Amino acid sequence: MRTAARVVTIALLTVGAARAQDACKPDVDKLCAGIPAGGGRILSCLKANSAKVSPDCKTELAAIKKKAQAIGDACQGDVYEYCPSVEPGKGAVLKCLSSNSANLTPACQKVVYKAEEGEAAFKQACGADVKKFCKGIPQGQGRILSCLKSKQTDLSPDCAAMFSSQ
């Protein structure tokens, strides 16, 4: 179970968690108010209330689930072998896989490379905006993305483009 959580962490890094966060925010506010983020609690709440979840949120969750499955197929064995005791969060699993990249299966190497590439592109495009608009906001659970989205009209063109390409 912990391995699956680690793989899903990688999946969310690589497939656009911000999109799902936007599509599902009204559902989370309505159906999961008071449930603390982290540890998959919000996702579990949305699954438990699946009959009440909006069509847009269902669509985004289905897309993420499909991509997460593909990523899980690529990296699950590598996560289990090289990162069994790594606690998910703040990119820890991705860092572990990166540090073992020479030993990973070719399919997982591609996933890790793509995630690293996406992270680097985001930092390059939005790093200055994060420092300007989101100083003091702790990383994790989509807080930085939420902060940037709340300032979307003020973002630099490169950072704004990162959000419009999702």
Please write the tens of the pLDDT for every residue from 134-158. 998 887 667 788 888 888 899 999 9
pLDDT at 65 over 90: no
Domain count across the chain: 1
Per-residue pLDDT band at 7 (split at 50, 70, 90): low
**Nearby residues of 29 by Cβ (< 8 Å), 6 or more positions away:** none
pLDDT at 1 over 50: no
What is the Cα–Cα distance from 64 to 59, expressed in whole angstroms?
9
pTM score, two decimals?
Answer: 0.63
pLDDT at 118 over 70: yes
pLDDT at 109 over 90: yes
CB–CB of 161/125 below 8 Å? Answer: yes
What integer is the mean pLDDT of 73-81? 89
Q: Which pLDDT does position 104 carry in this prediction? A: 94
Per-residue pLDDT band at 81 (split at 50, 70, 90): very high
The per-residue DSSP string of 54-76 comes to -HHHHHHHHHHHHHHHHHHHHHH
Give percent of the chain with pLDDT exceeding 70: 82
Residue numbers of the domain that contains 52: 2-164
